[in-house]
Structures are given as C-alpha cells and as structure tokens.
Structure 1
Amino acid sequence: MVPPTGALEAARVRSVANQTRQTQINVGPNTTIVGRHGAVLTGLTLMVDGADNVIVRNLTFDDTRDCFPAWSPTDGATGNWNSQYDQISVRRSEHVWVDHNTFTDGDNPDSAQPVYFGRPYQVHDGSLDITHTASLVTASYNRFTGRDKLMLIGSSNTVGPDVGRLKVTLHHNLFDRVLQRLPRVRFGQVDVYNNWYRLAGDDFAYAIGVGVQSAAYVENNFFTLGVGVASGDLLYDWGGTAVTTRGNWVDADRALPRPVDLVAAYNATHDPDLGGDAGWTPTLRASPAVPAPLVPLVVGPLAGAGRLPL
C-alpha cells in the first residue's frame, strides 16, 4: 500500500492549502480572546503557534470540517481517512489558558458521514491538540460534546524535543458522549483532575490514552458510563508504561456510584499490565481537588460557553 499520487491527489493538496488560508486564524502572543454571549466559530481553526500568553474563553467551536480529507493506506490494517484541522491547535507556545468553551460538530457529526474504501469518511480532527513542544497549557471548564477525537498531547512517538515539555492541566471539563483522546498523551506530565466523563455509545474507544513516555496523573474524576462501556475500557495502552490514578469514581450498571481503581480495572482485562505510578505529583493546582462525587454538581452547571461567571 502506497499513498495516493497523481493529478487528483495534487489537486486535493492545493485545495487543502486554499482552505487553510480561508479558515485558519493565527493567534499572536499576549492575546486574550473572550467571546460575547452566543459567539460561535463555525468551520474555523484557532492556531496558537509560537505564541506565549494566550487566553481563549467563552467561545463555541462548531464543525471545524476538512473539505478535502486525506486517504492514508498505511494507517491501521486497512487504511483510514484523516483530517487536518483542529478546533484549537497549540504548538510551540507556553502559558495558554483555554477556559469555558464548547466544542461540537453541530449537525455534521462524523457518525453521519459515508463510508469510502471500507472506512468511515473522517472530516474532523481534534478539539484541542497540544503538540510540537507546547507546555504550561491549562484547559478548564470546557464542554466537549458529541465528538470523536478530542485532545492529542504530543506530536509523535519519536523521542525528540517534546521530552520535558507538554506540561498540561485539565480540570473541571465535561466530556459528553465523546469517543477517544480524552486525552491521549505522549511524553507529557498531564494533570487530569475533577473532570466529568459522561460516556456512551457503541463506538466509544477509550478515555485516557497512555502513550510513549507519558506521565498522566488522574485524580478525583467522575465517570458516568452508558451501556456497553466498562471501567476497564477507560484507559488504553498506546505504548506507555504507567499512569497514576487516585480518588476516581464510576457510575455504571445501574448501581450506586462507587470508587474505581482505573489501573486495576484495565489490568484485569488487558495485557501487558500498566504500572500505577507515573513518577510525579502535581504542584501547580490553584486549589485542591474536590471529592469525585461532587464533580457533576460543579462541572454540569459551569462547563462550556455561555456559563462564564461574570
């Protein structure tokens, strides 16, 4: 299997470049973007590349679609469609805060796309990808709803400049009926605490991807699991070795909510086992994590655009 070539592929590449010029908004350093009530960005990407000290708040990102997805025949056993555009992309930047935003595909979900070459036609990429040596990034009180790929932290599996970077904090976000990369981590120290995962659907893949040299610290999150989603499905091994999980709770199987050891649940149904110590403890939290059972009461009313306390 070889990548597509020829006149049609060359035309697709030119069309992608044209779309990028029309839909990518490059954000400069020392920039604050706060949406007014009802502000929506449809089909657009915010590119934060080499731009320190950026704040993005109170925006709805709707259907950032790739009109010209690429066919990648070597992606997976039978190939896959891949899209280029994230809703927010953070690269080579520090001190970035993404707060009280909503990320959605609107009325154009990937589940409604056709199938070509035996694979679903993928017109969306990530919600918030943090790559290419970015660091000191916080995502808080955001609402991610009805999407497939959400958050990729780390550019590739190749050991390089990402090592020692990618320090990211995720807190008080709502992951609502989403399928994977919540987040998927390579190399970074990523603090994941007090988030509400409301997960369901036959296509659900995993919540937290444990990638190469990743060090995720997952504490006091609340997982509401729909039919077909089990506690052992919440982690996924993408070549990592360990993840710290503490104080998390799960609400599943029509039973009372209860504490869950995410690593033990994963190891009970998967080989090889993941270790339970990522080798670090967060020190940069503004306030202590609240107990997991209280997370839905805080995150539900406050996460997302239009809910910013003023």
Structure 2
Amino acid sequence: MRTEHPKTPSARALGAGGAALGAAALALGLLGVPGSASAAVGSPQGWASQNGGTTGGEGGDTVTVSSESEFLDALEGDGPQVIEVSGSIDISGMNDVPSDTTIIGLDGAEITGGGLDISGVSNVIVQNIAFSGWDDDAINIQEGSTNIWIDHNSFTDGYDGAVDTKRESDFVTVSWNHFFDHEKTSLVGHSDGHTEDEGHLRVTFHHNFYDGTGSRHPRVRFGNPVHVFNNYYLDNAEYGVASTMGGGVLVEGNYFEGVDNPTHTGYADSDIGAIEERDNVYDGSGEPETGGGDVAAIPYAYDLDPAEDVPAIVSGGAGPGNI
C-alpha cells in the first residue's frame, strides 16, 4: 500500500519557496510586518484531521519574524495568523501560542533555548522548524488543547520532553519529525494520578524518525486509541512504545532496528495499558510486549506504507526541508 504523504506540491517545496519568500521580505524591509495570507503545507492525517480538522492560521495575516522580540510580539496576536520564522531565533522558557495559529519555518529556520506552550487553545500547526537546546519542553500541548498538528520538525539536545501531550488534550497528530541526540521524546498523559485524562489524549504518531533517542516514543497513559504507524525506530536505548494506566495503542507498520524493547505494556510504577501490534518489522530487535486489554478502533481512513520500506521513506522525508 502507498502512504498518502501530506498533500504537497512537490518534495522540498517549502525549502525553495520559503527561502525566496524570506529573501523578498528582507529586501523590502518587511520582517515583523503583517503581509498577505499563507498557510502550512499540506493537511494532517490521523487524529488532527478529526473534530472539524486542523487549519492553523489559514486565512489570517502573515508575519515574518527573525528575532526573539518579533517572535514573542507575534505570539500576542489575535485571530488567525501565520508566523513565518526566518533564521535562528533564541528564546527562553515556555512561550504561549494562541489558537488559530500556524508557526512555519522558512528554509533553515531554528528555535533554540526555549519552547512553545500550547495550552488551553485549539487549531495550531507547527511545521518545518529545527528545535534544539530547550530549557523545559520543546512543545508542550496541555490544558485541553485540541486539533494540534506538529509536522516536519526536528528536535535535539533539550532538557525535557520534545513533544508532550497531556491534561485532557485531544485530536493531535505528530508526523514526519526527526528526533535525535535526545532522551525523552513524547509523553502522552500527565501522571498516573491525573485520571481526568481518561477519554482524551487521542494522538497519532506517523512517519517520525526516532534516531538513537532513549525513550517515550511515545509513553502513553489513559489515551485510547493512540495510533503509532510507519515510524522508524533506530537504536533506541531504553524502549520504543509504552502503554500504561489503561491506555490503548495500535503499533502498526513500524520498523524497529536495534531496539531491545520495542513495546511495553506497563512501565515503571504505572499500571498496565494495552498494545496491539500489527505488521511491524523487528530488525535486530527484541520481542514486543502486547496484550494488556482492548485497543479501541481507529475511526479515520489512512494509507499505510509497507513496514520494510519505512527506513528509506522516513529517513529521507522526516524533518525540516522535506515538505
């Protein structure tokens, strides 16, 4: 079967088009000034396509930013907006992102030092940015946020989670990201005691490259179903996927290479969760743990790549510059 990649005009289209747009903005002295509307590239598959879909700042003003002050000012905006990140911007701490916002990197865009707090909002897209060295989380989705799409970014060398989803958040897709030289990638569920997460935390992870990272790819509490498909797991030190506290995870069509513990049903002091595994490849890897209860049905349509093709597809297509 063929995966329907996010509907893009061509591979690396943003890299060329984004660079041209950024150069034009610089030449005209328009950085930090609202301009004509643009939008993210493509549209999400998975949970972020449900509940009315995820469009970010589509139809709103566009502002191109190249400094911390411009970026933080843009995050104070109201209404739909597209924030285009040009160059490398160093921030600190966690910075609130408003509803109906797309944050999209132009060619070579970086955010270093701090992270994005997507808290109590809806309809947010973060795309085509290299995150590094964050001092808390790189992206924290929490407090009932819904319809969030994190796509074609990279994450390395930060303090805590790269992309965490917790505190009753829902309808989230994490796709085509490259995680490397980092320990904890994605927590789903705040804590064992935060039972308010039951009935929420529906997240899709697809076509991500977990490249030598340690754990939490993802680590799930309560969310059911969480859908993990067509990801490439390479030399993950601790484990691949863990389902706990009654969560339910469908692990489907992934490629595990050099991963001693591909999946866990239960982890640390957390009660068990359910894992259903289907059509995965375990190359030089251990046996997956499965069972632990029922995984709810996936309600949306999706296209699945053959697992044996995943290393080439994902290593060549994940991360910034590949949309």
TM-score, structure 1 length as denominator?
A: 0.70
Gaps of 5+ in 2: 1-90
* Match in the other structure for 2:148: 96
Task: Kindly report the root-mean-square deviation, in angstroms, between the aligned alpha carbons of the 2 structures.
Answer: 1.9
**2: CA distance, partners of 1:155 / 1:34:** 27
* Match in the other structure for 1:218: 251
2:141 maps to amino acid: V
* Match in the other structure for 2:85: none
What whole-Å deviation, never above 9, does each CA across 1:108-140 have from its counterpart, x for those lacking one? xxxxxxxxxxxxxxx711000000100000000
* Match in the other structure for 2:266: 237
| Structure 1 residue 241 displacement after superposition | 3.8
| Structure 1 residue 283 displacement after superposition | 2.0
* Match in the other structure for 1:198: 234
**1: CA distance, partners of 2:317 / 2:99:** 28
* Match in the other structure for 1:271: none
What whole-Å deviation, never above 9, does each CA across 1:225-251 have from its counterpart, x for those lacking one? 1xxx42x45425222142111111022
What whole-Å deviation, never above 9, does each CA across 1:87-117 have from its counterpart, x for those lacking one? 0000120000000000011xxxxxxxxxxxx
1:278 maps to amino acid: D
What whole-Å deviation, never above 9, does each CA across 1:240-281 have from its counterpart, x for those lacking one? 14211111102217xxxxxx8623xxxxxxxxxx52653322
* Match in the other structure for 1:283: 299
* Match in the other structure for 2:242: 209
Is 1:167 aligned with 2:193?
Answer: no
**2: CA distance, partners of 1:242 / 1:55:** 29
**1: CA distance, partners of 2:120 / 2:278:** 34
Q: How many residues align?
A: 228
SS of corresponding position for 1:53:
strand
Percent same amino acid at aligned positions? 35
Is 1:158 aligned with 2:193?
Answer: yes
* Match in the other structure for 1:60: 130
Task: Detail structure 1 runs of 4+ shifted over 3 Å in the superposition.
Answer: none
| Structure 1 residue 298 displacement after superposition | 1.3
* Match in the other structure for 1:27: 97
SS of corresponding position for 1:243:
strand
**1: CA distance, partners of 2:262 / 2:217:** 12
**2: CA distance, partners of 1:147 / 1:172:** 18
8 Å CA contact retained: 2:232, 2:311: yes
**2: CA distance, partners of 1:44 / 1:236:** 33
Gaps of 5+ in 1: 1-20, 66-84, 106-122, 254-259, 264-273
Cα 1:61–1:159 shift into 2, 3 Å: closer
| Structure 1 residue 291 displacement after superposition | 1.4
1:59 maps to amino acid: I
